[in-house]
Structure 1
Amino acid sequence: MRFQWIKPTSRACCIAGIVTRVGLKDMTIDQAIDFTLSREIQCKNPHLISQRELKSLKREAEAQIRKIQETRRAVPVAGGR
């Protein structure tokens, strides 16, 4: 047995889940990664994930969080001119 994504889109779904949990549940990225993988919805054998894949997931989730924060700052206040 080895770690594997269930579908080709599973990795992206996992990253979306991590970002959502960090933003809405006030989890750290590491907690969100552990929780998301442990549910085994997008992957099989999450306990066998490589350190390289974990670092990659964390890096991409952090990039998405930064992108969301930048976008949030760029949106003008409603009614403002």
Structure 2
Amino acid sequence: MRIRWKRQSSRAGLISAVVTRNLIKGMDMEVALELSLPNYSANPEGLSQFERKRILKEAMKELKRIEEARRGGTGRQRARG
């Protein structure tokens, strides 16, 4: 059975929710995915192992991007005057 998303943007929303739960609550990615999935899909049990790995991989990539942006923004000070 193939997974059905509730909206067209649900996949991106799920990835954002997983990353947010990981950053703010300190949850494991797998646990965050399991908790977030019912909010974004009509049939959460239809998620295949391949799709699960893809979502987790994209969430890790997004988390890495956020961490790099966080590190990059702290070193620069805006010059006044």
TM-score scaled by structure 1? 0.86
Matched residues in 1 for 2:74 and 2:67: separation? 14
Structure with higher Rg: it is 2
Matched residues in 2 for 1:76 and 1:49: separation? 38
Which 4+ runs in 1 deviate beyond 2 A? 76-81
Structure 2: state its 5+ residue gaps: none
Q: Which structure's residues are more often helix, by fraction?
A: 2
TM-score scaled by structure 2? 0.86
- Picking from 24, 32, 56, the partner of 1:58 is 56
Report the counterpart of residue 16 of structure 1 in structure 2.
16
Q: Which structure's residues are more often strand, by fraction?
A: 1
Matched residues in 2 for 1:12 and 1:78: separation? 30
CA RMSD of aligned residues (A): 1.9
Question: 5 Å matches for 1:20-59?
Answer: 20-37=20-37, 40-59=38-57
The percent of aligned pairs where both chains have the same amino acid is 33
Q: How many residues align?
A: 79
Structure 1: state its 5+ residue gaps: none
